[in-house]
Amino acid sequence: MVPVDQADWWAEFKIFQDRDGRYSWQLQAASGRIIVQSGHPYESKYWCEQDVNWLRANAGLIMVYDHTGPSHRLAV
């Protein structure tokens, strides 16, 4: 196991507005890598922020399943 400084593992949500006035979000790692981004644009900044807040509040409850093999087990 390699020790990691706290500054190396943080991530932050960023909200953007496109030229058409729609909003989207990204979760960006400290390294600059985009970990995940919204799957669609939001017409309202409010609903974009609501989804980000829901993800932040429920991240520990989100299940991960492996759909690459026949067992579809919970990924560890």
| pLDDT tens-place string over residues 64-73 | 888 887 766 6
Q: Domain 10-61, what fold?
A: Double Stranded RNA Binding Domain (3.30.160)
pLDDT at 73: 62
- Low-confidence spans in the chain with pLDDT less than 50: 1-2
Q: What are phi and psi of 75, to 5 degrees?
A: -75, 140
pTM recorded for the entire structure? 0.75
pLDDT at 1: 46
Distances in Å between the Cα of 40 and the Cα atoms of 23, 27, 31, 47, 56 are 9, 14, 24, 12, 18
**Can you tell me the distance from the alpha carbon of 42 to that of 59, in angstroms, rounded to the nearest whole number?**
21
Kindly calculate the radius of gyration of the chain based on its CA atoms and give it in whole angstroms. 16
